[in-house]
Amino acid sequence: MSIAMHDIHFAYGDKVICDKLNWALPKTGVVCLWGASGCGKTTLLRLLVGLEKAQSGTVDAPSAVSMVFQEDRLLPWKTVWENASLACADAVRVATLLETVGLADHRDRYPNELSGGQQRRVALVRALAAESELLLLDEPFNGLDEQAQKTVLPLIKAVAATRPVVLVTHIAAQAEALGAAVIELKGTPLTGILTPTLPAK
CATH number for 38: 3.40.50.300
pLDDT at 201: 46
**Residue 79 falls within a domain, yes or no?**
yes
Rounded Cα–Cα distance for residues 45 and 33 (Å):
10
Contact 65, 133 (CB under 8 A): yes
**Residue 6 falls within a domain, yes or no?**
no
Q: Using one digit for the tens of pLDDT, what is the confidence trace for 190-199?
A: 999 999 875 5
Rounded Cα–Cα distance for residues 80 and 104 (Å):
9
* Burial of residue 14, with CB atoms counted within 10 A of its CB: 0-12 exposed, 13-18 middle, 19 or more buried: exposed
Closest CA to 166 of 187, 185, 180: 180
User: The domain containing residue 108 runs over which residues?
Assistant: 27-53+61-182
**Residue 49 falls within a domain, yes or no?**
yes
**Residue 1 falls within a domain, yes or no?**
no
pLDDT at 199: 56
Q: Using one digit for the tens of pLDDT, what is the confidence trace for 60-84?
A: 999 999 999 999 999 999 999 999 9
Q: Total structural domains in the chain?
A: 1
Q: Is the pLDDT of residue 88 over 50?
A: yes
